[in-house]
């Protein structure tokens, strides 16, 4: 049986010529311009994703096949999240007070065309451990950091020995409590999730993995099996989904994705607005599209299936949650709320007197007013 490195090397599509051979040259009429797009950002589609592409412009094609739209830079930014400004030493981004991002791999099994970090990923050269020394020293010196997120590229494309070395070094730092790994490998290269890898990872608990699925079809039987192996190793799994035009920008698709994630033992964590990345503007939807998707989730499915909807603020502002408006008004007496059906309700505010909290008495109603629930306000 081929190991995961052989599967990736032999069966991926990594050139436009191979792509045209697979799907037909008639689908690539602007080949010269397309070559420029592929030159601007690394191109590879793993075997699992090649198998999912059914036709041009389907959700898988849009995510992974280069497009001439990538050359139409309108308002995109090269480093849209300003990560480099928050990088005190190579491979570390320290933006939030108690956690840091540690970039440990420059390569991915498949290169998503909407990638936020496209300026950095794609270098096939493995980073020598010696080049991580300044990162480890920074993490050791900054005792406020309790949570480290391994990212890249994809950390799970490192071999078991390299992963073990990095995790061992991190676990030797007393103030680091939590280790997280961000990876699309369960989706893109499920062959990589082996019993040996799971045995290695479970030695470093508490360890979490946030994976990344954007469409229900990506949860193939092989992907679900890989996720099950990780879950059986005691690794809590979350999913970070990106809202993408023509991929998952409808309530029906997003609800199905969230339900299938839960069935695969993955907790939906974030839905991101697509970042303002130069060359990826064509993936962006309006913010209102995301709000309407969240409105279609809240109350219509279980809370377990509802992630946070966030904008990772351009310029380095961090993740900002975006919610539909459920609070219509609020004062010291009451809060008027709207539920998922659009019905209005009143929540009475407590009153604090002499250190004792007392509930305000409901307002008196006219003697002949129709009787109804004291908490419900007609729409």
Is 198 catalytic? The answer is: no
CB count within 10 Å of CB 189 equals 28
Catalytically annotated residue among 117, 118, 184, 284: 117
Catalytically annotated residue among 112, 113, 118, 270: 112
Q: Which helix (H) or strand (E) holds 22?
A: helix 16-23
Preceding amide of 153 cis, omega within 30: yes
Is residue 280 helix, strand or coil? coil
Is 99 catalytic? The answer is: yes
Catalytically annotated residue among 33, 96, 245, 344: 96
Catalytically annotated residue among 44, 62, 111, 115: 115
Write down the H helix ranges in 27-131.
Answer: 31-40, 47-52, 59-64
Catalytically annotated residue among 44, 108, 138, 249: 108
CB count within 10 Å of CB 304 equals 12
Over its C-alpha atoms, the chain yields an Rg (Å, rounded) of: 24
Catalytically annotated residue among 79, 217, 249, 275: 275
Residues 6+ apart with CB under 8 A from 13: 19, 22, 44, 45, 50
Catalytically annotated residue among 171, 245, 319, 338: 319
Pairing of β 237-243 and β 267-273? parallel
Distances 97 to 94, 108, 210 between C-alpha atoms, Å: 8, 28, 20
Catalytically annotated residue among 33, 95, 162, 348: 95
Is 187 catalytic? The answer is: no
Is 96 catalytic? The answer is: yes
Catalytically annotated residue among 35, 99, 126, 338: 99
Rounded-to-integer distance, Cα 257 and Cα 266, Å: 11
Q: Looking at the annotation, which residues are catalytic?
A: 95-96, 99, 108, 112, 115, 117, 275, 312, 319
């Amino acid at each position: 049986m081929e190991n995961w490195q052989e599967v990736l090397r032999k069966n991926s599509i990594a050139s436009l010529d191979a792509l045209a051979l697979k799907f037909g040259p008639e689908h690539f009429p602007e080949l010269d311009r397309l070559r420029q797009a592929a030159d601007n950002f690394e191109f590879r589609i793993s075997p699992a994703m090649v198998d999912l592409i059914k036709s041009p412009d389907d959700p898988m094609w849009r995510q992974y096949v280069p497009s001439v739209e990538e050359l139409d830079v309108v308002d995109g930014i090269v480093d849209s999240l300003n990560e480099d400004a928050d990088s005190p030493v190579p491979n570390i981004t320290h933006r939030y007070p108690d956690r840091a991002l540690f970039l440990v791999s420059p390569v991915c099994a498949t290169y998503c065309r909407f990638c936020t970090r496209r300026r950095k990923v794609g270098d096939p050269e493995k980073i020598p451990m010696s080049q991580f020394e300044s990162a480890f020293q920074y993490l050791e010196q900054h005792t406020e950091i309790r949570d480290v997120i391994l990212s890249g590229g994809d950390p799970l494309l490192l071999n078991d020995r390299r992963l073990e070395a990095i995790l061992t070094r991190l676990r030797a730092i007393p103030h680091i409590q939590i280790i997280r790994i961000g990876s699309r490998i369960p989706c893109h290269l499920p062959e990589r999730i082996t019993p040996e890898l799971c045995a290695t990872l479970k030695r470093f608990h508490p360890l979490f993995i946030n994976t990344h699925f954007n469409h229900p079809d990506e949860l193939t039987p092989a992907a679900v099996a890989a996720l099950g192996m990780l879950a059986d190793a005691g690794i809590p799994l979350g999913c970070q989904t990106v809202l993408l035009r023509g991929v998952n920008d409808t309530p029906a698709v997003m609800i199905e994705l969230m339900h299938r994630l839960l069935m695969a033992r993955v907790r939906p964590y974030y839905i991101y607005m697509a970042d303002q990345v130069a060359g990826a503007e064509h993936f962006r939807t309006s913010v209102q599209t995301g709000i309407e998707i969240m409105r279609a989730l809240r109350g219509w499915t279980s809370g377990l299936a509802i992630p946070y909807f966030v904008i990772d603020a351009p310029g380095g502002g961090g993740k900002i949650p975006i919610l539909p408006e459920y609070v219509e008004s609020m004062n010291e007496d009451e809060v008027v709320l709207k539920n998922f059906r659009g019905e209005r309700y009143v929540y009475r505010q407590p009153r604090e007197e002499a250190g004792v909290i007392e509930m305000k008495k409901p307002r008196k109603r006219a003697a002949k007013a129709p009787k109804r629930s004291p908490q419900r306000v007609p729409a």
